[in-house]
């Protein structure tokens, strides 16, 4: 039999767990670990079939399985019982007496005694003389005699006699027992006695639900009253009440109500913001639904239910042009690119692209040249809409292109670069939102399936994101990756409008349940703040391009201007402070302000109302 002995010495065997060997034998050759590829099932089968499984152990040093002999198993059993390991050891063998208990006449030894056993010791004499000298010199103090009288001290000596102790201060007296009333009398008035039905009802009730825990009874005189059967029971209950009654003192926190209101800066420190009505643009005969302002801030366009679009000069409130369009104008949008003079107008089932021919002749001439330079592609492409060039009559009014949709269009909005625009159609299918490219006269439908009724859409001012607001949610799509990035929960019943901060990280949503939700896109998909300043439905919200201002217009006829400061420091939350309520619009048909819009450069706000006017506040 070969002698496998692992010669690595007394070391932790875990050091070898990543190696194929487990140590070295006497010749210095590696001892390889036995191959262990048994799974749980193999182990179980071996346990069932191998009769020696119970006496097989694994040797940690060599990794081999060793079957214990009968002697080794016996040894283990003896050690487990707390007996000695050696079989032949007898712990109870008789003891041998070295000395007998009988006294003998001869001593064990007969050595003569030492002389030093009966002479005073010289070393002790020297020690004593040294100690005596030290006591005389005062180096060693002899011990004081112990005083055996016990000492007592006054536990309460330093207490202030007038102070109230803690247990007295927190003492809550036990509640008093209710005094007996007429119903407990031995001869109660007849109205206190229970009738038969009342008695039956009382017996069927749970003990905890009964108003009285006894039945009133009548006796002729006090002598006839028997002993009360529930006396001990009631005493016991009272004792339980006294010692189990949870008595605690409620600490009142005195808070000054003023401290609970957040400290907001004063509106006058947050100037400039619009405060007074400066101009009224009159001319429309019906409600003015929508507004848009040119990128230069010189011209304003308004669309109305009187089937006209009017172009105004901002500073003078003079109507420069009136364009009859033959239908209710739902939305207007001036192209945000300052080098192009184009306005998109939603009328019934089409979007008109109009060149208003206002201002710089070079500018609007260049716009016409740009539109005329379009070359149609060789092959016709299938599109969800039709692009039609305007007729001579329409051209003379300023209309350049007509984009015909299949259903009524309710909103149009431009991308910041001014080539693409998106339109929203009143429809339930996946054709609700369309994106159009003006330079190539090409339209596409970005969505495969409908996610609900779309209220409005927006392009992100800097990044390739597209915001789609349905009744309850705002979905943010990445146009490059063509995927949904975020879904914002507005906590509103019906979203009416939204606007995006020029920085692009915050958006506001107005809703018909008179709430304004401010979202911080980096923070959460839920509103950072819900503002409930308006009494009625919000129709429109707007951000200013440069100033930290946002405004909301509502059916209560007011425009509320708020200061909304967004900090560059990402750790600081936006500061929202309402600064001004602007009034002026007259309520018509229960409608107030239908659209609000900021001037692109000045801290001015435009509002259009159901009373047929547009107002400028500065």
The angle formed by the CA atoms of residues 295, 296 and 301, to the nearest 5 degrees, is 65
Strands 318-324, 483-489: pairing is unpaired
Q: Residue 165: what pLDDT?
A: 64
Mean pLDDT of the 60-69 span: 82
Each residue's pLDDT tens digit, 552-597 = 998 888 889 888 888 877 777 778 888 888 888 888 787 888 899 9
Domain boundaries, the chain: 1-44, 273-372+382-617
- 240-261 tens-digit pLDDT: 888 777 666 677 777 777 777 7
Residue-wise burial string across 249-285, b where 16 or more C-beta atoms lie within 10 A, e elsewhere: eeeeeeeeeeeeeeeeeeeeebeebbeeeebebebbe
Strand order in the sheet with 409-414: 409-414, 420-425, 433-437, 442-444
Which has the closest alpha carbon to 305: 291, 323, 285, 278? 285
pLDDT number for residue 579: 86
| Phi and psi torsions of 281, nearest 5° | -95, 105
88 burial (CB, 10 Å; 0-12 / 13-18 / 19+) is: exposed
SS3 of the chain: helix, strand, coil, percent, to 5: 20, 30, 55
The first and second tokens of residue 375, run together, are 């070359």
Dihedral angle at the C-alpha atoms of 399, 403, 407, 411, nearest 10 degrees? -70
Evaluate if residue 2 carries a pLDDT over 60.
Answer: no
Q: Are 216 and 225 in contact (CB under 8 A)?
A: no
Q: Tell me the pLDDT band of 407, cut-offs 50, 70 and 90.
A: confident
Rg (CA), the chain: 51
Average pLDDT across the chain, whole number? 84
Contact assessment for residue 584 and residue 279, using Cβ atoms and an 8 Å cutoff: no
Architecture of the domain made up of 273-372+382-617: 7 Propeller (2.130)
The pLDDT of residue 246 is 67
| Local structure of 294: helix, strand or coil | coil
In this prediction, residue 132 carries a pLDDT of 93
Cβ atoms of residues 605 and 595 within 8 Å: no
Residue by residue, DSSP assigns 264-282 as: ---GGGG-----SEEEEE-
pLDDT at position 123: 93
> What is the pLDDT, as a whole number, of residue 169?
66
The CA distance from 420 to 414, in Å, is 6
pLDDT band at residue 96, thresholds of 50, 70 and 90?
confident
Q: Per-residue pLDDT averaged across 253-278, rounded?
A: 79
Query: What burial class does residue 417 get, using C-beta atoms within 10 Å of its C-beta: 0-12 exposed, 13-18 middle, 19+ buried?
Result: exposed
Q: How many CB atoms lie within 10 A of CB 617?
A: 23
Q: What is the DSSP letter of 82?
A: T
Task: Check pLDDT > 80 for residue 202.
Answer: yes
Tell me: pLDDT of 4 over 70.
Answer: no
């Amino acid at each position: 039999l070969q002698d496998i002995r692992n010669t690595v010495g007394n070391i932790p065997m875990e050091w070898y767990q990543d190696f194929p060997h487990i140590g070295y034998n006497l010749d210095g050759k590696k001892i390889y670990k036995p191959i262990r590829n048994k799974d749980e099932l193999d182990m179980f089968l071996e346990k069932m079939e191998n009769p020696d499984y119970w006496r097989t152990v694994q040797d940690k040093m060599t990794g081999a399985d060793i079957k214990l002999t009968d002697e080794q198993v016996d040894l283990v059993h003896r050690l487990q019982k707390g007996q000695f390991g050696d079989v032949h050891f007898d712990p109870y063998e008789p003891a041998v007496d070295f000395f007998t208990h009988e006294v003998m006449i001869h001593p064990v030894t007969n050595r003569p005694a030492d002389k030093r056993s009966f002479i005073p010791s010289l070393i002790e004499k020297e020690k004593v003389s040294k100690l005596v000298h030290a006591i005389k010199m005062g180096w060693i103090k002899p011990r004081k005699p112990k005083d055996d009288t016990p000492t007592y001290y006054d536990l309460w000596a330093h207490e202030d006699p007038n102070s109230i102790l803690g247990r007295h201060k927190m003492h809550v007296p036990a509640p008093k027992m209710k005094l007996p009333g007429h119903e407990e009398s031995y001869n109660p008035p007849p109205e206190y006695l229970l009738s038969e039905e009342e008695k039956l009802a009382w017996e069927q009730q749970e003990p905890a639900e009964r108003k009285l825990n006894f039945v009133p009874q009548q006796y002729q005189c006090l002598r006839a009253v028997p002993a009360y059967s529930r006396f001990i029971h009631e005493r016991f209950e009272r004792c339980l009440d006294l010692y189990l009654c949870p008595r605690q003192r409620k600490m009142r926190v005195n808070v000054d109500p003023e401290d609970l209101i957040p400290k907001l800066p004063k509106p006058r420190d947050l100037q400039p913001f619009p405060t007074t009505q400066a101009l009224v643009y009159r001319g429309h005969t019906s409600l003015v639904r929508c507004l848009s302002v040119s990128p230069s801030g010189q011209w304003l366009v308004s669309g109305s239910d009187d089937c006209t679009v009017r172009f105004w000069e901002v500073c003078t409130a003079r109507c420069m042009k009136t364009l009859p369009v033959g239908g209710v104008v739902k939305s207007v949008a001036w192209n945000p690119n300052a080098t192009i003079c184009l306005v998109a107008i939603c009328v019934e089932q089409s979007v008109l692209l109009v060149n208003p021919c206002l201002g710089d002749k070079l500018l609007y001439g260049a716009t016409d040249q740009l539109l005329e330079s379009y070359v149609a592609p060789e092959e016709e492409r299938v599109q969800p809409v039709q692009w039609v060039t305007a007729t001579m009559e329409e051209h003379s009014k300023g209309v350049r292109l007509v984009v015909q949709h299949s259903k009524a269009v309710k909103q149009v909005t431009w991308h910041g670069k001014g080539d693409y625009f998106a339109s929203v159609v009143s429809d339930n299918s996946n054709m609700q939102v369309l994106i159009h490219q003006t330079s190539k006269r090409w339209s596409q439908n970005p969505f495969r399936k409908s996610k609900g009724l779309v209220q409005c859409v927006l392009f992100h001012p800097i990044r390739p994101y597209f915001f789609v607001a349905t009744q309850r949610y705002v979905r943010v799509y990445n146009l490059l990756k063509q995927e949904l990035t975020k879904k914002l929960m507005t906590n509103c019943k019906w979203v009416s409008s939204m606007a995006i901060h020029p920085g692009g990280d915050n958006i506001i949503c107005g809703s018909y349940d008179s709430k304004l939700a401010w979202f911080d896109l980096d923070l959460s998909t839920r509103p950072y703040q819900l503002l409930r300043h308006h009494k009625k439905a919000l129709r429109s919200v707007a951000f200013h391009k440069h100033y930290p201002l946002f405004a909301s217009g509502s059916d209560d006829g007011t425009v509320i201007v708020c200061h909304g400061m967004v900090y560059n420091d990402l750790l600081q939350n936006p500061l929202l402070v309402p600064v001004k309520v602007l009034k002026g619009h007259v309520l018509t048909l229960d409608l107030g302000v239908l659209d609000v819009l900021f001037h692109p450069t000045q801290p001015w706000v435009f509002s259009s109302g159901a009373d047929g006017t547009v107002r400028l506040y500065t």
